[in-house]
Chains A and B, each alone.
Chain A
């Protein structure tokens, strides 16, 4: 299968989510081919799952003070602090090889590309249902998928490094009295490529490994491309009218 491959670099959260939705609309409207996109977040950002409550999950005042964006995704799943990491998104029509009807199977298929990318880096990783990827028993990647407009969109992050204390300075916890224990748990259960490899690894090097991994695991031809003018304009519109607004971000 042929994919357009995009590396859009760093963007603010609302635009990152706007571009992902613009890709979904463009692929749905057959204006763009199936697409794999790699990107990151600047400034750092917190995203929450579609069904989460922003003021329940996120310390918005702390985000404001630290200059961290806070945005609701169109995909379900949990709250994520996007800092030292690389994010991918993939959009394909429903029914294509990566998007069978069975959603768990679809997660497994898409995640096989991330896992193959980890192999390129010398990391032995595995899919951990429902939507995680683990290495040495610790989570290194979270993934979230939605089906809309006859297409599947999945995005996910691969942690390069983790600062759990900083993360929890921005996130709220269900029971404040258990905060310390929860933070200790997360420090045990989550890790990044830097700790696994014992050396600093950057965005570009990880992007190259992921690209090779996606290509081999999906038997895909990745053709480097650019966002179309239509996608860029639509992405900016969606960022301004949806992901940049309290109406959307505070809606549940």
Chain B
């Protein structure tokens, strides 16, 4: 199931989350938006790391993945991204 969630970070940028979840497992995670991340490839490596994880651990694992040494994100923090990812998951649990 594809989940989408949009969130504007106060004084920051827009995050557009797209997740594919099947049976509680994340198949892919895409964080699109008008933010900056340096190096860009490290941000994508963090996204890729979140494939195959249980969706109920996304906030914890995303916080870790996007806080990796050497990656700087401008317009959102690792915590902002992790929170937005968590909300994308939570939105489906509300009928």
State the A residues within 8 Å of B (CB). Answer: 49-53, 56, 74-79, 103-104, 130-131, 144-148, 174-175, 252
Contacts and interface: CB of A to CB of B under 8 A. Distances in A.
A103 B37 contact: no
Contacts of A103: 36, 38, 72, 74
A52 B40 contact: no
A103 to B, nearest CB: 6
Given A103-B74, A104-B74, A130-B74, A77 B34 contact: yes
B75 A130 contact: yes
A147 B43 CA distance: 13
A115 B30 CA distance: 36
Interface of B: 6, 12-14, 16, 30-40, 43, 72, 74-75
Nearest to A145: B36
Contact of A146 (B30, B35, B40): B40
A56 B36 CA distance: 18
B75 A56 contact: no
Q: Which 6 residue pairs across A and B have the least CB separation, nearest first? A: A76-B36, A78-B34, A53-B32, A147-B38, A49-B34, A174-B6
B16 A53 contact: yes
Contacts of A49: 33-36
B32 A56 contact: yes
Contact of A76 (B6, B12, B16, B40): B40
Contact of A174 (B14, B30, B36, B75): B14
Given A56-B16, A130-B75, A174-B6, A51 B33 contact: yes
A77 B36 contact: yes
Contacts of B31: 51
B33 to A, nearest CB: 6
Contacts of B34: 49, 51-52, 76-79
Nearest to A50: B40
A239 to B, nearest CB: 20
B39 A76 contact: no
Contacts of B36: 49, 51, 75-77, 103, 130-131, 144-146
A197 to B, nearest CB: 29
6 contacts: A51-B32, A103-B74, A104-B74, A130-B12, A148-B39, A252-B30
Contact of B35 (A51, A74, A104, A174): A51
Given A76-B37, A103-B38, A147-B38, A52 B32 contact: yes
Contacts of A76: 34-37, 40, 74-75
Contacts of A144: 36
B36 to A, nearest CB: 4
Contact of B32 (A130, A146, A252): A252
A174 B38 contact: no
Nearest to A75: B36
Contacts of A51: 31-37, 40, 43
Contacts of A174: 6, 14, 16
A75 B36 CA distance: 7
Nearest to B33: A51
